[in-house]
A = this chain, B = another copy of it.
Amino acid sequence: MELSDWRDRIDALDRKLVELLNQRARCVLSLAPLKKRTGLPIYEPKREQEVLDNIAAHNGGPLAAEALRRVFERIIDEMRSIQRPLMEDDTK
């Protein structure tokens, strides 16, 4: 394969990543009202650890565990940001 073939393949993977990240965002937005109703905070260290454990347990490489962890910390951070407006106290 030539350089341009590899890049086409990478671009196709990136489009799938965009779709999965948006699917994940939709889940996070859907569960926000449930969290709010049950009084759960946006940031739950225990759940965050579960997410990171799930990722580490399913990493077949070649990415190192630490590299994947850094990527997911960014993903989780962006997900918290979109959840925040839905979790704000609307009784004020």
Binding site for B on A (CB under 8 A): 1-3, 6-7, 9-11, 13-31, 34-35, 38, 40, 47, 50-51, 54-55, 58-64, 67-68, 70-72, 74-75, 78, 81-82
Contacts and interface: CB of A to CB of B under 8 A. Distances in A.
B14 A55 contact: yes
A72 B14 contact: yes
B16 A20 contact: yes
Which secondary structure dominates chain A's binding surface?
helix
A81 to B, nearest CB: 7
A22 B67 contact: no
A14 B24 contact: yes
Contact of A21 (B17, B29, B54, B81): B17
B67 A81 contact: yes
B20 A20 contact: yes
